[in-house]
Amino acid sequence: MAVAVQLSGNDRVPGIEMTFTENVSLHGARIITQRAWRRDEHVQVASRPGDFRAKARVAYCERLREAGYAIGLEFLEPSGRWVLGPSAAPERTLKG
């Protein structure tokens, strides 16, 4: 499921990256990124839309054939809610 997110915390390429998830669960997410991340590196994740925020740990980073990387994140300190669509009703949110 694609959800817009903001990533920060990459020591080698500082700044904020706006990108999308490929899927989301209560415990983590797979996110497409232009930056390479190291395993066990800490990342700050914020959903757009919604008020979900989390400190997360990079579980893996895979180079994609097309361009960029896919990273698997494990949420360590989640708060807020994911909004899973433009007209997400309360039953269409994941408690984080």
Q: What is the pLDDT of residues 25-77, one digit of tens each?
A: 889 999 999 999 999 999 999 998 888 999 999 999 999 998 899 999 999 98
Q: Is residue 94 part of a domain?
A: no
Quickly count: other Cβ atoms within 10 Å of residue 29's Cβ. Answer: 23
DSSP string covering 60-86: EEEE-SSSSEEEEEEESS-BSEEE-ST
Q: Is residue 96 part of a domain?
A: no
In this prediction, residue 69 carries a pLDDT of 96
The mean pLDDT of 10-39, rounded to a whole number, is 91
In this prediction, residue 19 carries a pLDDT of 95
In this prediction, residue 44 carries a pLDDT of 95
For the chain, the domain total comes to 1
Q: Which among 6, 22, 1, 18 has a CA at the least distance from the CA of 71?
A: 22
Q: Which domain holds residue 35?
A: 4-82
Q: Is residue 39 part of a domain?
A: yes
Strand partners, 43: 56
Per-residue pLDDT band for 90 (boundaries 50, 70, 90) equals: very low
Q: Is residue 76 part of a domain?
A: yes
Q: Is residue 50 part of a domain?
A: yes
Q: Please give the Cα distance from 83 to 72 (Å, whole number).
A: 19
